[in-house]
């Protein structure tokens, strides 16, 4: 069974023979198609030029010569979400059937950082824009911190951290 991609010795001779042309072609292909990965670019170069090239060679060429242009429109979504991790909430809307076959819609709001449920809203019947807003307002109306169970040796430490007692008074 033959190997689909040539090994290191072949790619070194290719790079020395047509180095500048291949590098330019790989970089231009990545600029025109930014979502293409190294295997796809390697296949397209091999198809277009008849030059077998390894995806690892494409990766090294792109690491050395390709610098994507950054637009000045602001941070990326990943950066934005990373900075907002302390206040990022997720919302889930789903449908439940009761025993008497009535349809209830449930909206759950959850804090992503602490993984706690902020609240939920329930609506019977068809959900329209007003009903959805009402459910959301109900879900975020009471943002209370869930109570930690007060049992075991850990409860004294939790009370101390919350300012309810000191270690001297608990002895």
Whole-Å CA distances, 16 to 26, 43, 48, 164: 15, 20, 19, 73
Domain boundaries, the chain: 8-65, 84-171
Tokens linked to 122: 């329930």
CA triplet 108, 112, 118: central angle to 5 degrees? 40
pLDDT recorded at residue 3:
55
> Helices 38-49 and 55-65 meet at what angle, rounded to 10?
100
Contact 87, 99 (CB under 8 A): no
The secondary structure of 2-40 as a DSSP string is: --SS--HHHHHHHHHHHHHHHHHHHHHHHHH-TT--HHH
Predicted confidence (pLDDT) at residue 158 exceeds the cutoff of 60: no
The greatest distance separating any two alpha carbons of the chain, rounded to the nearest whole angstrom, comes to 82
Predicted confidence (pLDDT) at residue 19 exceeds the cutoff of 80: no
pLDDT recorded at residue 150:
45
Confidence of residue 137 (pLDDT cuts 50, 70, 90): confident
Whole-Å CA distances, 105 to 90, 92, 153, 168: 17, 10, 42, 51
Mean pLDDT of all residues in 157-164? 56
Predicted confidence (pLDDT) at residue 30 exceeds the cutoff of 60: yes
pLDDT recorded at residue 114:
80
Please give the residue that has the higher pLDDT: either 64 or 170.
64
pLDDT recorded at residue 4:
60
Whole-number Å distance between alpha carbons of 79 and 82: 5
Confidence (pTM):
0.38
Predicted confidence (pLDDT) at residue 149 exceeds the cutoff of 70: no
pLDDT recorded at residue 89:
80
pLDDT recorded at residue 40:
93
Whole-number Å distance between alpha carbons of 82 and 52: 40
pLDDT in tens, 43-101: 998 888 888 888 999 999 999 988 877 665 666 667 766 666 666 788 999 999 989 88
pLDDT recorded at residue 163:
58
Predicted confidence (pLDDT) at residue 102 exceeds the cutoff of 70: yes
């Amino acid at each position: 069974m033959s190997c689909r991609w040539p090994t290191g010795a072949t790619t070194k001779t290719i790079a020395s023979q047509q180095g500048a042309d291949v590098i330019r072609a790989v970089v231009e292909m990545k600029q025109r198609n930014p979502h293409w990965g190294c295997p796809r670019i390697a296949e397209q170069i091999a198809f277009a030029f008849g030059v077998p090239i390894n995806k690892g060679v494409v990766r090294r060429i792109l690491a050395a010569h390709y610098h994507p242009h950054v637009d000045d429109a602001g941070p990326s979504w990943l950066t934005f979400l990373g900075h907002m991790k302390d206040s990022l909430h997720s919302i889930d809307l789903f449908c439940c059937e009761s025993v008497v076959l009535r349809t209830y819609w449930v909206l759950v709001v959850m804090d992503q950082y602490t993984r706690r449920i902020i609240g939920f809203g329930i609506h019977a019947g068809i959900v329209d824009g007003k009903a959805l807003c009402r459910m959301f307002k109900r879900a975020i109306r009471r943002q209370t911190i869930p109570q930690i169970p007060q049992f075991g040796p850990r409860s004294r430490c939790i009370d101390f951290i919350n300012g309810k007692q000191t270690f001297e008074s608990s002895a």
